[in-house]
Amino acid sequence: MKSIWHDTLPLPSYPSLPGSIRTEAAVIGGGLAGILTAYYLTRSGIQTVVLEARRIGSGQTSGTTAKITAQHNLIYQKLIAGFGEEAARQYVSANQQAIREYTRLIRSKSIDCDFQEASACLYTRLPGDALSQEYKAASRLGIPAHLSADTELPFPVRNALYFPNQAEFHPLKFLKAVANGLTIYENTPVLSAKGHHLHTPLGEVTARHIIFACHYPFLLWPGLYFARMYQSRSYCLSLAGIPPLKDMYLGIDPGGLSFRSARKRLLLGGFGHRTGIIPDNSYQRLQNFVHKYYPAAKTVSHWSAQDCMSLDQVPYIGPYSFLEPDWYVITGFNKWGMTASMVAAQLISRKICKKPVPWESVFTPRRIRLKASWREAMTHLSESSRGLALGLLHPNRRCPHMGCRLKWNPYECTWECPCHGSRFSHQGKLLSGPAQTSASVPSR
């Protein structure tokens, strides 16, 4: 089913690549990250094209809950411990600047995208001091924050951590406005890249600068992003008949329930899992919650989406690999791609324009942060090795990306790769990458 955003807004369509072209910059991917990056590059006078495999805004951006916030779950204690205080300050500053830039851009261009200020709130119903610790870390980094047990949620909480002056919007209305005036080619998948050349079925694009904003980079080499990221899938319901919430909420307890209101609906999300490792029926679990806490509510629509999870919880934004000096990458948003897309757009456009980039080092894909990433790295290595080994035993259900065994998700009726998160329809048609071709799968 389509998300609330797609249901309320058809996006305009753009032509396909007309044949081989030359340009200064080529952005691969027309999600929020790609369109924003193309916008800032174009505004800086760099001739830029966007190459989108399907339609703009048809990827994970259409399934987001679109909270624009620097409150990224429990991150600040971990950042200080794993990256150090200076890097944690850079992360805060980049994300706070992103919120300010959204506000400036939307107001200055009068973009009608349901943008409104709201507080972001992490809550817990369990005993423990995780939120107090996060509050201390946030305060140390200069984030205005406060603790309170008062929320608008339909159950009592033990504690809640508020960040005021955050925001929310309609991501596709925003995307549509920002895309207006850019050079965009839809239905133009990039199949391979070499130096300054991108190969598509419709012609070759030669570009001085190449930006991979295609969610999960599809090339195995260089960059080795397959070894540094997995994907995590979450589920959403849109509910009618519930008074609107003023603020946005995320639970830190198991299930990680997320709440925000939009267009007279409550968006309830949660019960995420590593893509391809399928637990119970997440939609049913959300419905059980609704029956218990919002018995009068009506479920209007449901959908799911997934995001790339870096191993140290920080996105990869910057030079793609030292082997390709004119390539850049934007990925690994850890489900916080609204502010991260804005950070990326500013960072990459400034870098290409040779302007100073204040927060480059915390996001650089060249970093190695063993202290912050070793646990996730072990899990990723073990899941990937298992998936690859099982792929050898099950040649009739192998992912075309690297050959891992695909798992059947009965709740979405999709085949999913537990190693890197590619997804396919019941007939094996490609739904989302890093795989770039369909898979051969048993009939269902």
Ligand X SMILES: Cc1cc2nc3c(=O)[nH]c(=O)nc-3n(C[C@H](O)[C@H](O)[C@H](O)COP(=O)(O)OP(=O)(O)OC[C@H]3O[C@@H](n4cnc5c(N)ncnc54)[C@H](O)[C@@H]3O)c2cc1C
> Where does this chain bind ligand X (CB under 6 A)?
28-34, 51-54, 58-61, 63-67, 189-190, 213-215, 218, 234, 236, 269, 305-307, 333, 335-339, 341, 433, 436
Quote the distance between the C-alpha of residue 211 and its chain's center: 16
Residue 178 has which token pair?
């920002």
Nearer to ligand X, 206 or 386 (CB): 206
Quote the least distance from Cβ 420 to ligand X, whole Å. 13
Give the shortest CB-10-to-ligand X separation in angstroms.
Answer: 16
Shortest distance, position 191 Cβ to ligand X, whole Å: 7
Looking only at the bridges linking them, the beta strands covering 197-200 and 159-168 are unpaired
- Nearest approach, Cβ of residue 60 and ligand X (Å): 4
Tell me how far CA of residue 332 lies from CA of 129, 174, 232, 263, 389, in angstroms. Answer: 28, 22, 11, 29, 25
For ligand X, the closer of residues 428 and 434 by Cβ is 434
Our CB check for ligand X shows the closer of 193 and 390 to be 193
Decide: helix, strand or coil at residue 273.
strand
Which residue, chain included where needed, has tokens 């998948």? 189
For the chain, the 3-state helix, strand and coil shares in percent, each to the nearest 5, are 30, 30, 40
- Please give the DSSP secondary-structure letter assigned to residue 245: P
HEC secondary structure over 8-28:
HCCCCCCCCCCCCEEEEEEEE
Question: How distant is the alpha carbon of residue 443 from its chain centre?
Answer: 31
Contact 50, 183 (CB under 8 A): yes
Beta bridge partners of 327: 210
Which lies closer to ligand X via its Cβ, residue 79 or residue 236? 236
Q: At what angle do helices 32-43 and 171-179 cross, to 10 degrees?
A: 30
Q: Least distance from C-beta 235 to ligand X, angstroms?
A: 7
Closer to ligand X by CB, 50 or 390: give it.
50
Min dist. Cβ of residue 130 to ligand X (A): 20
Beta-carbon contacts of residue 354 (< 8 Å; ≥ 6 apart): none
Rounded least distance, CB 405 to ligand X, Å: 22
Question: Are the C-beta atoms of 153 and 123 separated by less than 8 Å?
Answer: yes
